[in-house]
A and B are shown apart, each in its own frame.
Chain A
Amino acid sequence: MLQYILRRALLMIPTLIVTSLVAYIIIELPPGDFATSYVANLAAQGDMASQETARVIREQYGLDQPATVRYLKWMQGILTQGNFGIAFELRQPVSSFIWERVWLTLALSLGSILITWALAFPIGIYSAVKQYSIGDYFFTFLGFIGIAVPGFLLALVLMYVQFKYLGQTSGGLFSSEFLTAPWSWDKVLDLLQHIWLPVIILAVGGTAELIRIMRANLLDELRKPYVITARAKGLPEWRVLLKYPVRLALNPFVSTIGWTLPFLVSGSIILSVVMNLPTTGPMLLRALQVQDMYLAGALILILSVLTIIGTLLSDILLAWLDPRIRYQ
């Protein structure tokens, strides 16, 4: 088992290198650079900006150097000083403001994953065991609605309800007085008061989907002969269920933990825009629009690394759950 974890961890290194390259290539791909889009923006606002301005900006930010040199410099900065480069638009180092958004995104994702699982597992098990019962039909109905309703629409409706009937202003993750305040217990409490709504909205779609997956997985497992063997031993039905088919139905779940994170990040962009959430989604969108390449690159890189770590975790968990993987 230890050997397996070590091997997996070592395999992460080449994956990370390739990931950083791909992230860099993606942000290099669009034609032009920050200077061109900056000049174009000024021109759109009626300001006459000359090619001279563009040249000065390029020189200032090192955009006139070849791409390979910039990539190596960028990676060197990240690896040695944790310096992700300069965000052109804000004229600040990327690392100075990016982490708060990354942690908030992670908190949001983890919160919604936990709620998703807490709801989806028991409901999925119930739906499979009592297949075609009234309860199963009820949750199937709810599940399809949950899958079909887009998160942002649900967000708009809930924000309206929150404003109209609870008298709370919504949107954002903090009250206005805490927006720029340094971290304190009060700020954390304030965060908890705001974060539940987006967490629930994010969880709804995932829960609905997961109920369907859990139900289908478990229905497959319930028909396997080892379930009858377990019953023939004289085990009570709930112990039969939890020890055998449910345990095996969990495998597909565990293997998806890794990519739940990027899914939640990309899936929550519209929601974040609608609810004005300070997550990485809107920031990435903006950075790509203005070709703020180091900011976009840093965001893509961090999310990729988190995904790889997530995949590693799910692989380890899967090996722990399923000996057939551990021994091969």
Chain B
Amino acid sequence: MKDESTLLEVKNLKTHFFLDEGTVKAVEGADLTIRRGGTLGVVGESGCGKSVMSYSILQLVESPGRIVAGQILFHRQLKCNGQSQMMDVIDLAALAPNSRAMRDIRGEEIAMIFQEPMTSLSPVHTIGNQIEEVITLHRRVDHATARRQAVDMLRRVGIPKPEERVDAYPFQLSGGMRQRAMIAMALACHPSLLIADEPTTALDVTTQAQILELIQELQRDLGMAVMLITHNLGMVAEICEEIVVMYLGEVVERADVFSLFREPLHPYTRALLRSIPRLGQIKQGRLDPIQGAVPDPYNRPVGCPFHPRCAQMMPGTCDRIHPELIERRDNRAVRCLLCEP
């Protein structure tokens, strides 16, 4: 998949947290690729490292967390005189978190929206002020232009009366409107990648659907790629083209959305899919949850991290050998000893 269309490649990323109690390997081998304009879903249980992985891409992991290994290759398109397009590959993992180069990427090339639209916006600044800030930071425009662009952006994300709402404070807006404002802020500089970290978790179900539609619509209009982090498989099925499944900081399976739902390879993916409630399933009674809980982060299981909860565990093998992520010919990848040739 190394062609012109590649936007971001994460290779064997490891982000660890060095705490007094020990080292938490929050991300322990994440590999993924995002195409220009593509949509990638990252799914997994709480604590599987999907958020930390996305924070790592923007170098937003705070001390005592640190990226300890791996590469994050961002293929930046440089527009020279509007005609020839040069590609510049930057390894974000090698940049210092507060370096100029990293800050130029944030907000301008890669933007992020978060779970809680209330607490993710400053309560004491107007949303206009917060949107204008990112515009004046990355574009050489005066205040009036930035304000006009902010109003345009608010209109684009479907906020009614944007000329008035631009001066509103976050607490004067509803949850859905706040998330729209957040999206307007993230997209103000037309980034080539939007990372959405569970963008609808804090919203009610009807608003969730609206926000998802909005993201899809803006993605089509602006041609940006979207990385959607979620534990909601239904959401992933709806808008993503490719899916990465994470377990305990590792990518355990990667596939296009159709193959993954039709033929899940990893036992964990199968267990995840079995645990989704379906209409018409009520008669059979209870849902089928995954056995056990996510292991203690300080004591990762030896061998395959999923073996203590795996129904198909092979004693003597799975609890000894740590499987590698195997690339298959059909452009899928899986990390399981059962699937090794």
Binding site for B on A (CB under 8 A): 224-226, 228-237, 243-244, 247-248, 321-324, 327
In the complex the two chains form, is A324's CB within 8 Å of B98's CB?
Answer: no
By beta carbon, the residue of chain B nearest A251 is: B124
In the complex, the answer to whether A233 meets B122 with C-beta atoms within 8 Å is no
- By a CB distance below 8 angstroms, the chain B residues around A237 are 98
Q: Are B119 and A244 in contact (CB under 8 A)?
A: no
Which residues of B are at the interface with A, using a C-beta cutoff of 8 A? Answer: 55, 58, 60, 98, 103-108, 111-112, 114-116, 119-126, 133-134, 137-138, 169, 171-172, 182, 185
The answer to whether B137 touches A233, judged by C-beta atoms less than 8 angstroms apart, is yes
Instruction: Judge whether B120 and A233 touch: CB under 8 Å.
Output: no
Q: Which residues of B contact A226 (CB under 8 A)?
A: 119-123
The answer to whether A234 and B114 touch across the interface, beta carbons within 8 angstroms, is no
Q: Please state if B137 and A234 are interface contacts (CB–CB under 8 Å).
A: yes
B121 and A233: CB pair below 8 A? Answer: no
Q: Which residues of B contact A224 (CB under 8 A)?
A: 119
| Chain A residue contacts of B112, Cβ below 8 A | 229, 232
Q: Which residue of A lies closest to B134 (CB)?
A: A233
Chain B residues near A231: list those with CB within 8 A: 60, 106
List the B side residues contacting A322 at CB < 8 Å: 123-124
Measured CB to CB, the nearest residue on chain B to A321 is B124
What 6 pairs between A and B have smallest CB-CB spacing?
A234-B106, A234-B107, A233-B107, A234-B103, A225-B120, A233-B134
Apart from A226-B119, A234-B107, A323-B123, 8 more pairs, CB < 8 Å = A225-B120, A229-B114, A231-B60, A233-B106, A233-B137, A236-B98, A323-B171, A327-B172
B169 adjacent to A323 (CB under 8 Å):
yes
Residues of B within 8 A of A321 (CB): 124
Rounded to whole angstroms, the CA-CA distance of A322 and B121 in the bound complex is: 14
Residue of A nearest to B110 (CB): A232
Name the residue of chain A whose CB is nearest to the CB of B172. A327
A sample of 23 inter-chain contacts (CB < 8 A) reads A225-B114, A225-B120, A226-B119, A226-B122, A228-B55, A229-B122, A231-B60, A232-B58, A233-B133, A233-B185, A234-B103, A234-B104, A234-B108, A234-B134, A235-B103, A236-B98, A236-B103, A248-B122, A322-B124, A323-B123, A323-B124, A324-B123, A327-B171
A228-B60 in contact given A237-B98, A323-B124, A324-B123 (Cβ < 8 Å): yes
**Docked complex Cα distance between A229 and B178 (Å):** 13
| Contacting residues, chain B, for A234 (C-beta < 8 A) | 103-108, 134, 137-138
- Would A232 and B111 count as touching, CB distance under 8 A? yes
Using known A-B contacts A226-B122, A323-B124, determine if residue A232 contacts B105 with beta carbons closer than 8 Å.
Answer: no
Closest to A326 in B: B169
CA A219 – CA B105 in complex, angstroms? Answer: 27
Bound-state CA distance A235–B104 (Å) is 9
Closest to B135 in A: A233
* Complex Cα gap A229–B122 (Å): 9
Contact of B114 among A228, A244, A323 (CB under 8 A): A228
Cα of A36 to Cα of B133 in the assembled complex, Å: 71
Closest residue to B171 on the A side, CB-wise?
A324
Chain A residues lying within 8 Å of B58, measured Cβ to Cβ, are 232
Which residues on B sit within 8 Å (CB–CB) of A248? 122-124
CA distance A323 to B173 in the complex (A): 13
Within the complex, the shortest CB–CB distance from A246 to chain B, in Å, comes to 11
Do A232 and B123 have beta carbons less than 8 Å apart? no
Give, as a whole number of angstroms, the nearest-CB distance from B52 to chain A: 12
Chain B residues, CB < 8 A from A247: 124
A residues near B124, Cβ cutoff 8 Å: 247-248, 321-324
Could you tell me the distance between the alpha carbons of A244 and B119 in the complex, rounded to whole angstroms?
A: 12
| Residues in A whose Cβ lies below 8 Å from that of B172 | 327
A225:B119 contact, CB within 8 angstroms = yes
B119: chain A residues within 8 A (beta carbon):
224-226
State in angstroms the CA–CA spacing of A327 and B168 once bound together.
Answer: 11
Partner of A327, one of B107, B134, B137, B169: B169
- Could you tell me the distance in whole angstroms from the C-beta of B192 to the nearest C-beta in chain A? 14
Instruction: Name the CB-closest residue of B to A245.
Output: B122
A255 to chain B, nearest CB (A): 14
**How far does the alpha carbon of A230 sit from the alpha carbon of B134 in the complex, in Å?**
9
Q: How far is the CA of A248 from the CA of B55 in the complex (A)?
A: 24
**What residues of B have a CB within 8 angstroms of the CB of A323 in the complex?**
123-124, 126, 169, 171
In the bound complex, CA of A11 to CA of B107 (Å)? 47
* Chain B CB within 10 A, most for which of A234, A321, A327: A234
Return B328 CB to nearest CB of chain A, in Å.
35
A243: chain B residues within 8 A (beta carbon): 122, 125
Distance A224 CA – B62 CA, assembled complex (angstroms): 12
A236 to B102, CA, bound (A): 10
* Cβ–Cβ < 8 Å partners of B185 in chain A: 229, 233
Interface hub of A225, A232, A323 (most chain B Cβ within 10 A) = A232
**How far, in angstroms, from A247 to B138 measured CA to CA in the complex?**
23
Shortest distance between the CB of A208 and any CB in chain B (Å) = 27
Smallest beta-carbon distance A134→chain B, Å: 16
Which residues on A sit within 8 Å (CB–CB) of B60?
228, 231-232
Q: How far is the CA of A231 from the CA of B126 in the complex (A)?
A: 18
A225, A233, A235, A321: residue with the most chain B Cβ atoms closer than 10 Å: A233
In chain A, what residue has the closest Cβ to B109?
Answer: A234
B227 nearest CB across to chain A (Å): 13
Cα–Cα, bound, A321→B123 (Å):
11
